[in-house]
Amino acid sequence: MTIMWRTAALSLFLVLPAFASEKLTAPQLIELANHHSESLRDAIPATFDEKNLKEGTAWAGHGADFFFAVEAPSQPTLIVDDESGPQLKQIGGTNLWYAVATIEPVGKLHSFSYLVARKRFGGKLDLPSFGPLSYLQPGVPSGTLSPKITHTSKIYDGMKSDYWIYVPAEYDPKTPAALMVFQDGEGYTHRDGNNPALNVIDNLIAQKKIPVMICVFINPGDISGSPETPTYKFVKMYSDQWKRTLKDSMRSTLYDTVSDRYDRFLRDEILADVAAKYNIRKDAYSHAITGLSSGGICSFNAAWQMPDLFNRVITWIGSYSAIQWKEDAAVVDGGQDYPEKILREPHRNLRAWLEDGANDQENDRYGSWPLANIRMANALHLKGYDFHLSFTEGTHDSAGGAAEFPEEMTWLWRDYDPTKTEQTYEADPAEKDKPPFRVKIANRDAE
């Protein structure tokens, strides 16, 4: 911990007993634990859901510093990254146990679990240890997030979409700014949330590791207010067929469909409105797009369909699968075809970071997300694309991508030159010398 962090935590500790029945932050819980405070008896159940305590999935973290709590009839053993962690302490007269741990390296995904009576219990494979760049650093100015803006689409027959515009403090209307678009955007707008993208963007702009950029955070649209339109009828049919909500089905229609319709919606409606308010560069060299899960394939699809709009892509746990697959490939094909599209279609000028985990999901309708991402990486490798695959032990969760986001952004925007409007991306020489990814069966006999 930094001296500033410790000073702030100590001052908080002096007033914590009066607020121990309220939900506390990781630094507050750690400070109570370090002082062996009786307030932990109330603070733990006030901070964590009872279900998470009973299931062994309760944790709080700040940087490399973590607080774990669990309910168990006998002393559990904390396991962090498959190694024994600090010894858990008991809250007297209860079945509550807690421990403070330092987990490094930061900026990476970790895991934890417990041993109770020699049996593995609880835990998570998605434990992000955020690095300093995921927290707004002292002296770094923060920008302005607009109020929610609601747009009514023509391309999607009256669908309403909410989005937010982030303008960094360094933005000068006289100088055109770069652009980055985030799918499922609202989830990235909370500085203290699971995806603290705003902090990362501010810090990296201040360090001049990425250009000054206008960011658009857009949510999936809502078609419920436009019944009887072709888009509504298609989405309702999909919703009824697969027993998914209308809102979720609209998201899938937007994100999972392999066509240029969503990209035209972004370009001709959303980004046209944004460009009317802010001075944004028009070259694809200065445009990036990102998303997770279906938003991940959506982002790659946007760059693939319109490489003159987006050159840079980050995808987390991308759903390169047959979610919106149709048999008539002349009309639309499915996300599962993207590895073959990369191998067989003309080369696009793209730079792409893919992130996934070995424990991502699979099912009997769409196949395996981890294998799909490996197939994507191998296709990009074989065709000489400038790409990177980050592959962890994680599940279908944003934690891995969020922990690595400073590294991803630095890699994505490396060697950016504002005096240029284009660059031919080539595979890093170190990547060229590596073989394709291979798969080893590792889980068939696991306990």
Does a structural domain hold residue 447?
no
Q: How far apart are CA 132 and CA 387, in angstroms?
A: 25
Residue 1 has a pLDDT of: 42
Over residues 116-142, the pLDDT tens digits come to: 988 999 999 999 999 999 999 999 999
Residue 447 has a pLDDT of: 56
Q: Are residues 179 and 125 in the same domain?
A: no
Q: Which of 86, 102, 129 is the last residue of a domain?
A: 129
Q: Are residues 97 and 215 in the same domain?
A: no
Q: Which residues of 112-138 are buried (b: 16+ CB within 10 A; e: fewer)?
A: bbbbbeeeebbbbbbbbbbbebbbbee
Residue 15 has a pLDDT of: 52
Q: Are residues 319 and 371 in the same domain?
A: yes
Element holding 252 (H helix, E strand): helix 246-256
Does a structural domain hold residue 264?
yes
Residues spanned by the domain of 106: 3-129
Residue 365 has a pLDDT of: 86
Q: Are residues 196 and 248 in the same domain?
A: yes
Does a structural domain hold residue 83?
yes
Q: Are residues 166 and 292 in the same domain?
A: yes
Q: Are residues 279 and 396 in the same domain?
A: yes
Q: Which of 104, 129, 154 is the last residue of a domain?
A: 129
Q: What is the largest CA-CA distance in the chain?
A: 68
Q: Are residues 158 and 306 in the same domain?
A: yes
Q: Are residues 188 and 287 in the same domain?
A: yes
Residue 444 has a pLDDT of: 80
* CATH value at residue 146: 3.40.50.1820
How many structural domains are present in the chain? Answer: 2
Q: Are residues 189 and 333 in the same domain?
A: yes
pLDDT mean by block of 10 residues, the chain; 447 residues: 49 53 93 96 97 98 98 96 97 96 98 94 97 98 98 98 98 98 98 96 98 98 96 95 94 95 98 98 98 98 98 97 72 82 97 97 91 98 97 97 98 97 93 89 74
SS3 content of the chain, % helix, strand, coil (to 5): 35, 25, 40
For 268, residues 6+ apart whose C-beta sits below 8 A from its C-beta are: 155
Q: Are residues 69 and 203 in the same domain?
A: no
Residue 439 has a pLDDT of: 86
Three-state DSSP at 111 gives: strand
Over residues 295-333, the pLDDT tens digits come to: 999 999 999 999 999 999 999 999 999 898 765 555 457
Q: Which of 95, 129, 163 is the last residue of a domain?
A: 129
Does a structural domain hold residue 7?
yes
